[in-house]
A and B are shown apart, each in its own frame.
Chain A
Amino acid sequence: MKKTFGNIYILIIMLFLYLPIMALIVLSFNEAKSMAVFTGFSLKWYDELFNSDLMISAMFNTFTIAIVSALIATVVGTMAVIGMNAMKKKSQNALMGFNNIPLLNADIVTGISLMLFMLILQIPRGYGTILFSHTTFCIPYVILSVKPRVNKRTESLYEAALDLGATGRYAFRKIVFPELWPGIFSGFLLSFTMSVDDFIITYFTRGAGINTISTLIYSQVKVGIRPSLFALSTIIFVAALVVLVIINIRQSKTDKRNKMVFNL
């Protein structure tokens, strides 16, 4: 009895989460422009999507910004964790407090604060400013992923390696880095997905004439939804599905004790 209720409940939530997405997927193959009636199978909206120069350049911007900002954030964040460990607990806590600000703050506030900063310094807004802003909100995710990996044991192992004659650099590469690696990797992935998914902060820090996928969707939805956006939804959904499945398989292989899926 309790079990059936549970299953029905799960089913309802699943339908709620997935029906809208399914509707978009079905409509993306619709021949007509209609948002309600399915008149016949067609791939023309996919055609339209990939023939749009705006969309192609938006995709390029989205992914290059995500990769570069995630890389910078990973380096800066990992170094920060190592550096913070040399500090007193008090200054560590203070820095972590600042670290959590972009994480907890509303995106609109982060967005306008960065926009004002650029306006004051008269930095022309464009690709570089988006990159800077994305790195700013990615660093906290890296720090939160890497920080739990640093502990006393790593430090003792490192010192043992030094006592046994390893150089500092060698011991770092062989001892410390492998300990931190899972955190670094998940920090990078989190940053990448946060950057790809971001709209609000990009919206305020981009200049005219540069688009990411998100800002392009927003400007197109404002003038009227075209079915090519349904095609885009389908592609993004399938891509997310594939990536998550791969991560899952990798994770359950490498670490069975860990939870199955990335907590995002």
Chain B
Amino acid sequence: MIYKRRYASPFIIWIIAGTVIPLASIAYYGFTDRTGSFTFANILAMFQPDHFQALGLSLLLSIISTLICLVLAFPMAMILKDSKFGKQGFMIFVIILPMWMNFLLRTMAWQVLLERQGVINSIITSIGLPRQELMNTPGAIVLGMVYDFLPFMILPIYNTVSKIDKHIIEAAYDLGATKRQTFTDVIIPMTVPGIVSGITMVFIPALTTFVISNMLGGGKVNLIGNIIEQEFTVNSNWYLGSGLSLVMMVFIIISMLLLQKFDKTGGENLI
């Protein structure tokens, strides 16, 4: 036998030290106060108006961005599937390339475009229209999220769409299905795993971001990610930060479970 169990031991140690214990420490801090005794206060702090509002806004903006990405990505994946092989390879290359650029720089690009003295405003004013306040709005944040995460929606959907056997589609036509029926009853159900991976890959980073909201919201729009980040870096209140993270993780776990239910490939669509 080539396979010896002990080869996995460094990995197991790494999981324990890098994943299990660190996550357990969030749970520990989330349920204790500064004196070290057990409390629910850090969890319930999510219901304080400013925290609750931030969570609501995060959910709203990330759901909107995820939906926009889905609506933009699905036709793109379908169009890519039908194009010639050489073109397909090139197009995927073109979609992947921006992902290799640092996402802070990509977000900064929108800051440059949207700023009061920025590119879009100088175009607007040059044709005689008044200057617009584009930055520091929820809209700017949604734009940044869609821009940063769109490739993460296109690729998994394209991966599942491109694996659909074209004979199945032909069979649907032969059996008398209309174009529309083929699309809704054959193609869409077969792309569900890709759609679900795409949704989790956009929704989770969008829900938890603090960078995009900091850069395009100018500190005026507070998302739950910003609040948690500030608890750790500015206020040094790890207890509260951990408690709020635990609440936020509920949403992450829900999306993970959904992913597991629909995507049987065990995460292969994620890379």
Shortest distance between the CB of B197 and any CB in chain A (Å): 10
Q: Which residues of the other chain, A, contact B103 by a CB distance below 8 angstroms?
A: 197, 199
Complex Cα spacing A221 to B215, Å: 8
Known: A83-B4, A104-B200, A263-B271. A221 touches B248 (CB 8 A): no
Instruction: Tell whether A66 is near chain B: CB-to-CB under 8 Å.
Output: no
Shortest distance between the CB of A193 and any CB in chain B (Å): 6
A-B residue pair count with CB separations less than 8 angstroms: 270
Complex Cα spacing A213 to B104, Å: 10
Complex Cα spacing A79 to B215, Å: 41
Residue of A nearest to B259 (CB): A104
The secondary structure that dominates the B interface is: helix
Shortest distance between the CB of B76 and any CB in chain A (Å): 6
- Interface positions of A from 217 to 242, Cβ below 8 Å from B: 217-218, 221-222, 225, 229-230, 232-233, 236-237, 240-241
Q: Which residues of the other chain, A, contact B215 by a CB distance below 8 angstroms?
A: 221
The secondary structure that dominates the A interface is: helix
Q: Are B15 and A99 in contact (CB under 8 A)?
A: yes
Shortest distance between the CB of A36 and any CB in chain B (Å): 4
Instruction: Tell whether A103 is near chain B: CB-to-CB under 8 Å.
Output: yes
Number of interface residues of B (CB under 8 A): 94
Shortest distance between the CB of B211 and any CB in chain A (Å): 7
Q: Which residues of the other chain, B, contact A199 by a CB distance below 8 angstroms?
A: 102-104, 211
Residue of A nearest to B73 (CB): A13
Known: A10-B91, A108-B225, A240-B100. A113 touches B108 (CB 8 A): no
Known: A10-B79, A79-B8. A136 touches B109 (CB 8 A): no
Q: Are A260 and B112 in contact (CB under 8 A)?
A: no
Q: Are B155 and A221 in contact (CB under 8 A)?
A: no
Instruction: Tell whether B145 is near chain A: CB-to-CB under 8 Å.
Output: no
Complex Cα spacing A108 to B26, Å: 12
Number of interface residues of A (CB under 8 A): 99
Known: A16-B147, A24-B112, A116-B26. A236 touches B270 (CB 8 A): no
Shortest distance between the CB of A129 and any CB in chain B (Å): 11
Complex Cα spacing A236 to B101, Å: 6
- A-B residue pairs in contact (CB < 8 Å), sample of 6: A82-B4, A87-B5, A154-B2, A221-B108, A236-B101, A259-B92
Residues of B whose CB lies within 8 Å of any CB of A are: 1-12, 14-15, 17-23, 25-26, 29, 72, 75-76, 79, 82-83, 88-106, 108-113, 115, 117-119, 121-122, 147, 150-151, 155, 159, 200, 204-205, 207-211, 214-215, 225, 228-229, 232, 238, 241-242, 245, 248-249, 252, 256, 259, 266-268, 270-271
